């Protein structure tokens, strides 16, 4: 017999136990099935709304339709900024079978150096969600597009996408007028209407591209599309077309602009030409310019550093932001101030012994001609740019009256309508000095201001605007770059225009004009060589500005140093005198002198019917040596 432990099989009991257990299992199964059903009931009935919304959000996507950016033309309809399709190479990693092989093949097909594979690999990893294309390369050439098309069957997941990109046909000469567009950065993004800019990648950064961003950009449209999980659009459900940006016509005459740029002849400087009656800026050149197209595609760090470190500062808009001592070019305005304030009469004679002395002061303020011009009236004082006469006027006016009258011509203020980044220059005053230096105003400083030196600073744009106002008998029109936005002409009167400069006698304008005419055509005129053979009447004024110091971070060799310490040469002028069509301001840095001819060339080009701006050969700077100008 077996031990008691050795039980025998009891089939009856086994069947009972099994049945028992089966029933428990069945109960559990019912319970579990119930759990599933209640889960499904929760998902499909109770939370149905949530999930149906989620599923619609999944499949439906609202895609922004970016508007076409408005084109920019010059006043003659010449295209200055356009949109060109460029082609970008993108990759969707989920659709690529073998990433390494594909990238190797791509580099080979595109004819790129082999180390580009690594760059491509890095770029292919940059994206936010699955199935989102990553940008491998932008701005493909036609040849590359063709080669990709031929090899397309080898490159699953690789796409060539078209995108409109800004293109400037005349990038260097127009650089400071147009400015440029670039990729929207985070800071700009926070200030934009996200809906309107959802599909836009570029925004105006400087120049008119910046000023007229709102008009050029247009209004984004949208379309509702159904997509699959890979983001591929299957069909369009709804569409609201975008409103394209408005085309912008500038007041710039690109032929005059080119002439001005050429006249500068590779030197650093700026030229601004304004139509006095309309305020149209006909030319606004800052030289050297730079290639604005590079900024659209995203300038390389090396290129950007090169531009930044260039001692000629090509990125710097000298026309609107270059603040120079205006020198003797302020004398016509000062003459008018003296007349209006009745501290002098046009025919009054001031005797110039070669210097001016303040009462009770032994210090002599010298005329530029050491032995003096002798008897000088207002017209001759302008013609020969006599310092003693204007020291006397400044002394008689005092800084308060001088400063306030100069402000009427816009010195120390920004008066342009739409020139991006324009600076106000500096018209010093007693209050200004108290605030800035906590010092009283010294009489000697009035004398410096009287010949456009000392603290006095003005931009070429301000000088041109003041000259245009002078030519207009004091009538102010804000200088502007836009002539037409879409169909809408940009016409004076403009808001916030300064009140016209009022003088008590109209004759006083003519007194100043006559002096300025003598500058061009008088026997002693400082620009008489430039004015030789004028076929119309022209008023002008030369000037020089002393270079006191050099920029801190600039390095020069000895010969460059000498060159860069030379005075800046200035010229302002307008013509014809009785019916002014053009007012110009010219500054050439470190030229020493002799830039009046540039002004003459511009007025000639603008006024003479025979001149053909378009086909003009590169103008050479006249090698005239003028008589030394003031200071």
Partner 1 sequence: MAIDFQRSAPTHGARVGRKRSLWLRLHLDPWLLSILLLLIAFGLVVLYSASGMSAQTTMAQAIRMGIALIGAVVIAQFSPATLYRWTPLAYGLGLLMLIAVEIMGDIGMGAQRWLEIGPLRFQPSELMKIAMPMMLAAYLHRRPLPPSWRDLLVCGVIIAVPVLLIARQPDLGTSMLVTAAAVFVILLAGLSWRFILSLAVMAGAAMPLLWLNMHNYQRQRVLTFLNPESDPLGAGWNIIQSKTAIGSGGLEGKGWGLGTQSQLEFLPERHTDFIVAVLGEEFGLIGMATILVLYLLLVSRGLVMANQAQDTYGRLLAGSIVLTFFIYVFVNIGMVSGILPVVGVPLPLVSYGGTSGVTLMAGFGILMSIHTHRRLLKH
Q: Which residues are catalytic?
A: 328
CB 538 within 8 A of CB 563: no
Chosen residue from 3, 4, 8, 615 binding partner 1 by CB under 8 A:
8
Cα distance between the two ends of the chain: 140
CB 379 within 8 A of CB 347: no
Task: State the nearest-atom distance from the C-beta of 270 to partner 1, in Å.
Answer: 54
Restricting to residues 442-501, name those near partner 1 by CB under 8 A: none
Chosen residue from 3, 4, 27, 58 binding partner 1 by CB under 8 A:
58
Where are the alpha helices (H) located in 88-237, listed in sequence order? 99-110, 116-124, 142-150, 175-178, 186-190, 207-211, 213-217
Backbone angles phi, psi at 351, to 5 degrees: -90, 130
Task: State the nearest-atom distance from the C-beta of 20 to partner 1, in Å.
Answer: 8
Residue 1 lies near partner 1 (rule: CB under 8 A):
no
Residue 48 lies near partner 1 (rule: CB under 8 A):
yes
Chosen residue from 14, 122, 236, 535 binding partner 1 by CB under 8 A:
14
Task: State the nearest-atom distance from the C-beta of 482 to partner 1, in Å.
Answer: 47
Collapsing DSSP to helix, strand or coil, 189 comes out as helix
Residue number with CB closer to partner 1 (11 or 555): 11
Task: State the nearest-atom distance from the C-beta of 117 to partner 1, in Å.
Answer: 27
Residue 3 lies near partner 1 (rule: CB under 8 A):
no
- Local structure of residue 486 (DSSP, 8 states): T
Task: State the nearest-atom distance from the C-beta of 63 to partner 1, in Å.
Answer: 16
* Binding string, residues 130-169; x marks residues near partner 1 by CB under 8 A: x---------------------------------------
Chosen residue from 41, 351, 437, 442 binding partner 1 by CB under 8 A:
41
Residue 47 lies near partner 1 (rule: CB under 8 A):
yes
Residue 280: is it exposed, middle or buried by C-beta count within 10 angstroms (0-12/13-18/19+)?
buried
Q: Which of 260, 274, 199 is nearest to 466 (CA)?
A: 274
Choose the binding region for partner 1 from 34-42, 313-321, 461-469, 571-579 (rule: CB under 8 A): 34-42
Give the distance from CA 476 to its chain's centroid. 24
Residue number with CB closer to partner 1 (57 or 438): 57
Choose the binding region for partner 1 from 18-26, 344-352, 483-491, 569-577 (rule: CB under 8 A): 18-26
Residue 26 lies near partner 1 (rule: CB under 8 A):
yes
Restricting to residues 188-247, name those near partner 1 by CB under 8 A: 226-230, 234
Choose the binding region for partner 1 from 43-51, 279-287, 310-318, 474-482 (rule: CB under 8 A): 43-51
Chosen residue from 3, 4, 19, 587 binding partner 1 by CB under 8 A:
19
Give the distance from CA 432 to its chain's centroid. 29
Task: State the nearest-atom distance from the C-beta of 146 to partner 1, in Å.
Answer: 32
Task: State the nearest-atom distance from the C-beta of 294 to partner 1, in Å.
Answer: 36
Restricting to residues 96-135, name those near partner 1 by CB under 8 A: 129-130
Rounded CA separation 292/283 (Å): 18
CB 564 within 8 A of CB 556: yes
Size of site (CB under 8 A) for partner 1: 49
CB 22 within 8 A of CB 28: no
CA 447, 449, 454: angle at the middle one, nearest 5? 105
The 10 Å Cβ neighbour count of residue 364 is: 13
CB 292 within 8 A of CB 339: no
Peptide bond into 576 cis (omega under 30): yes
Chosen residue from 1, 4, 59, 284 binding partner 1 by CB under 8 A:
59
Task: State the nearest-atom distance from the C-beta of 236 to partner 1, in Å.
Answer: 15
Where are the alpha helices (H) located in 265-363, listed in sequence order? 293-296, 301-309, 318-321, 331-340
DSSP string, 149-178: HHTGGG-TTEEEEEEEEEE-SSTTTTHHHH
Residue number with CB closer to partner 1 (5 or 610): 5
Residues near partner 1 (CB under 8 A): 2, 5-11, 13-15, 17-19, 21-22, 25-26, 29-30, 32-33, 35-37, 39-41, 43-45, 47-48, 50-52, 54-56, 58-59, 129-130, 226-230, 234
């Amino acid at each position: 017999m077996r031990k008691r432990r050795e039980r025998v099989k009891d089939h009856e009991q086994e069947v009972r136990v099994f049945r028992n257990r089966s029933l428990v299992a069945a109960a559990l199964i019912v319970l579990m099935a119930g759990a599933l059903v209640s889960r499904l009931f929760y998902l499909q009935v109770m939370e149905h709304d949530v999930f149906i919304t989620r599923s619609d959000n999944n499949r439906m996507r609202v895609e922004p339709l970016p508007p076409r950016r408005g084109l920019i033309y010059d006043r003659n309809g010449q295209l200055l900024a356009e949109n060109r399709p460029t082609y970008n190479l993108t990759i969707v990693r989920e659709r690529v079978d073998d990433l390494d092989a594909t990238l190797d093949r791509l580099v080979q097909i595109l004819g790129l150096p082999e180390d580009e594979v690594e760059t491509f690999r890095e770029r292919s990893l940059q994206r936010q969600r699955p199935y989102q294309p990553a940008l491998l390369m932008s701005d493909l050439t036609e040849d590359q597009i063709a080669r990709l098309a031929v090899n397309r069957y080898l490159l699953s997941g690789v796409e060539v996408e078209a995108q409109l990109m800004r293109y400037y046909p005349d990038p260097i000469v127009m650089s400071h007028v147009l400015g440029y567009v670039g990729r929207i950065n985070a800071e700009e993004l926070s200030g934009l209407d996200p809906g309107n800019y959802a599909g836009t990648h570029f925004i105006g950064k400087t120049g008119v591209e910046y000023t007229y961003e709102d008009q050029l950009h247009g209004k984004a449209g949208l379309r509702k599309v159904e997509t699959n999980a890979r983001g591929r659009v299957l069909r369009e459900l709804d569409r609201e077309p975008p409103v394209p940006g408005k085309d912008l016509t500038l007041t710039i005459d690109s032929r005059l602009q080119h002439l001005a740029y050429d006249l500068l002849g590779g030197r650093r400087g700026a030229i601004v030409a304004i139509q006095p009656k309309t305020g149209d800026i006909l030319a606004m050149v800052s030289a050297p310019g730079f290639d604005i197209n590079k900024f659209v595609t995203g300038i390389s760090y090396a290129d950007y550093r090169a531009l930044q470190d260039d001692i000629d500062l090509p990125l710097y808009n000298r026309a609107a932001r270059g603040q120079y001592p205006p020198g003797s070019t302020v004398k016509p305005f000062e003459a008018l101030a003296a007349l209006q304030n009745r501290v002098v009469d046009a025919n009054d004679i001031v005797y110039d012994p070669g210097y001016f002395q303040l009462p009770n002061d032994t210090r002599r303020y010298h005329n530029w001609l050491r032995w003096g011009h002798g008897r000088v009236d207002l017209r001759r004082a302008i013609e020969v740019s006599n310092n003693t006469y204007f020291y006397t006027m400044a002394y008689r006016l005092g800084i308060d009256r001088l400063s306030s009258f100069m402000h009427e011509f816009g010195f120390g203020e920004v008066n342009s309508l739409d020139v991006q980044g324009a600076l106000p220059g500096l018209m010093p005053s007693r209050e200004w000095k108290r605030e800035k230096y906590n010092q009283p105003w010294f009489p000697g400083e009035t004398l410096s201001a009287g010949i456009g030196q000392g603290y006095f600073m003005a931009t070429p744009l301000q000088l041109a605007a003041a000259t245009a106002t002078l030519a207009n008998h004091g009538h102010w029109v804000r200088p502007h770059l836009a002539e037409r936005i879409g169909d809408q002409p940009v016409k004076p009167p403009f808001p916030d225009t300064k009140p016209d400069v009022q003088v008590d006698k109209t004759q006083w304008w003519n007194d100043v004009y006559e002096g300025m005419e003598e500058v061009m055509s008088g026997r002693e005129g400082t620009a008489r060589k430039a004015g030789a053979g004028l076929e119309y009447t022209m008023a002008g004024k030369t000037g020089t500005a002393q270079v006191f110091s050099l920029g801190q971070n600039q390095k020069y060799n000895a010969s460059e140093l000498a060159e860069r310490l030379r005075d800046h040469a200035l010229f302002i002028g307008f013509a014809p005198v009785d019916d002014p069509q053009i007012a110009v301001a010219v500054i050439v840095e470190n030229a020493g002198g002799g830039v009046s001819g540039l002004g003459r060339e511009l007025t000639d080009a603008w006024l003479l019917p025979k001149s053909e701006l378009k086909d003009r050969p590169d103008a050479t700077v006249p090698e005239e040596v003028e008589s030394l100008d003031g200071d």
